[in-house]
Amino acid sequence: MKSSRLIFTCVGIVSALVCCCYFSAGTMQHAAVASDTITVQVDRPGAAIPKTMFGLFFEDINFAADGGLYPERVKNRSFEFPDPMMGWRQLKREGAQGAIYIINQEPVNDANRRFLRIAVEANGQGFGVMNEGFRGMGVQRDEDYTFSVFARRAEGAPTGLRVELEDADGHTLGNTTVTGLTPEWQQYKANIRATATSGKAHLNLLAAGRGALDVDVISLYPKDTYKQRPNGLRADLVQLLKDMQPGFIRFPGGCIVEGRTLEQRYQWKTTIGAPSGRRLIVNRWNTEFRHRLTPDYYQSFGLGFYEYFLLAEDIGAEPLPILNCGMACQFNSGELASLHNIDHYIQDALDLIAFANDPANTFWGKKRAAMGHPAPFHLKMIGVGNEQWGPQYIERYKAFAQVLKQRHPEIALISSAGPSPNDERFNYLWGQMRRLHADIVDEHYYMEPKWFRDNVGRYDNYPRTGPKVFAGEYAAQSVGIASPDNRNNWECALSEAAFMTGLERNADVVVMASYAPLFAHVDAWQWTPNMIWFDNLRAYGTPNYYVQKLFSVNKGTNILPVLLNGMSKNGQDDLFASAVFDARTQEVILKVVNTAQTAKHVTVSLAGAGQLGHAGQVFVLTAPNLKAENSLDDPQKVAPAEQALAVSASSFAYTFAPDSLTVVRIGKTNR
């Protein structure tokens, strides 16, 4: 970009530090003497900020998919969990006689071998089954829910099903009936409008008439999904993501890509097509932590690769699928696919590119079109393995890269730097990746808050040539990695903000970054901290969410060099700062993190910008104390506050609040 585009139209008094007022918590006050200086070199724009700079890491952990983003209300809807009745129980009301059976013959389809038979001898007050949902079912008053079921008449003359939605106390929230069963499997659908709101509802299915009937793929699905799509995603969660304007979304993990064993790895081909035909597998997080065992955690793949691509498109993010590279999780079995057998895995990658990008009249393009998306998804990058390490990874990465680079030079490959930010595994992998001319290397850091503040200069001296960096998984751990006592508190978020100024300053090397993990159900999580928490009805962004959002929506188009007290070193006197120019809006955007417990009176100079003479905007994110957190009941306790800022000269005084992240936007438009 040419520097002339950065010259503001208002010609002003260059660097006239005469400003006598500042805003603090929305109040104009007399300024104390400024002791620190921040100089933004507006006339020295640097590298372009990649559009992918700040994005999302989605993993099906903490009930992020089933029970979360995928809003099916019925758990174990097809009786395919190893314990086929998990989530279900028999209902036998007064005077009723009958039995229930799990049968695995003549299934609805091959991926879905089992179904439930309800055999009734006497109906009495009702005989059938109840589903408990995912820690209950969330239903909103006056909202519509589609009940659907595959059913058939098995013996005798059952007339159909009575379907009841009840709250935790057994009060009716709505009901419907299914009639006209035949001896053949057929799908039946009916609408239930909820008469009241409940986060802990459940669903009853009661047979009507005597005899036996078979049921499978039993679903209660909200009509109000994102974009009102059938099999669509939970609207409030998608909106939280979209509001961040993410540059990319990585999916579906994380360790679930690897699986505890290769048999349990994520295989994208089994996650497309009709949802009823997607074969369920265990979720790797089901048994991972003894202290957070989650026996009912499986992957129905109702949210599969097609839905992930659609989600990426909906929120304006580049899709980044991560594929298994022939290695099961090295924290578990570490099972390896033989190198002689690796073609199968590479073929999955080739086919995925075809599924995403080929025209609608091709083999894979047809499958995508049949699901509702004839246009390509414009896939530009793929991850080869998740958090792998060792020579075994390098061998497998090489095999992938050899084929993919030859067949698809347009696709960037993401490779692993292992699970730690600076151990032997990390150094070995980076050495290899440089030698192999890898595209983008994925670094992970789950470290204490102080590490983030201390490592703000991590990328200042990374080589400017060779592979780029994807800061693919990071989050400050208030207690320690994988501790169930970690909190999404303000100290963690503020430390991440400080670190992110270092990412932004180095956007020529770090081309993508994402906080991890993304989602957690408050009643069903395995891992903490997480960016967004939810229950069956509500969701909230943590302080970490607002930090991510502030950086992402203010990412600009070009790096601007920043001097702190005349030096390029970031992180002095508890101050951290980075700046960008946004060529689209002609604004300078300055981000300042003050980790001191006192306010900082700072002279800010926009060198080379001239006098501005235009209203600016300031977003201040701070908290009552470092332990402060958001919650379902107090979701905005730590949330950005917007203030106006009148800047009349290219140098001005500003007081940065204690323990705060401040984003200052100054442009030539009257915003």
Residues of this chain that interact with ligand AHR (CB under 6 A) are 59, 61, 253-255, 386-387, 419, 473, 516-517, 527
SS3 123: coil
Which helix or strand (DSSP H or E) is residue 364 part of? helix 363-370
**CA distances (Å), origin 459, targets 61, 297, 455, 499, 596:** 30, 38, 9, 10, 23
Q: Following DSSP, what letter does each residue of 320-343 receive, concatenated?
A: EEEE--SB--TTTT--B--GGGTH
CB of 577 to ligand AHR, least distance (A): 29
* Residue 29 β-bridge partners: 22
Q: Which of 387, 496, 504, 629 is catalytic?
A: 387
- Looking at the Cβ atoms of 442 and 491, the one nearer to ligand AHR is 442
SS3 14: coil
Q: Which residue is nearest to ligand AHR (CB)?
A: 254
- Looking at the Cβ atoms of 34 and 516, the one nearer to ligand AHR is 516
What values do phi and psi take at 310, rounded to 5? -65, -40
- Looking at the Cβ atoms of 210 and 444, the one nearer to ligand AHR is 444
- Looking at the Cβ atoms of 255 and 638, the one nearer to ligand AHR is 255
CB of 628 to ligand AHR, least distance (A): 24
Which helix or strand (DSSP H or E) is residue 603 part of? strand 600-607
What values do phi and psi take at 549, rounded to 5? -65, -45
CB of 250 to ligand AHR, least distance (A): 10
Q: Are 161 and 205 in contact (CB under 8 A)?
A: yes
Instruction: Look at strands 281-282 and 298-299 and give their pairing.
Output: antiparallel
Which helix or strand (DSSP H or E) is residue 187 part of? strand 186-193
CB of 59 to ligand AHR, least distance (A): 5
- Looking at the Cβ atoms of 527 and 619, the one nearer to ligand AHR is 527
CB of 627 to ligand AHR, least distance (A): 23
Joined tokens for residue 266:
């994520």
Q: Following DSSP, what letter does each residue of 272-317 receive, concatenated?
A: SS-GGGSPPEE-GGGSS-GGG--TT-EE--SS-HHHHHHHHHHTT-
Q: Are 210 and 156 in contact (CB under 8 A)?
A: yes
- Looking at the Cβ atoms of 254 and 302, the one nearer to ligand AHR is 254
Q: Has 387 been annotated as catalytic?
A: yes
- Looking at the Cβ atoms of 318 and 473, the one nearer to ligand AHR is 473
Which amino acid is residue 335, in one-letter code?
Answer: E
Instruction: Look at strands 558-560 and 575-582 and give their pairing.
Output: antiparallel
Catalytic residues: 387
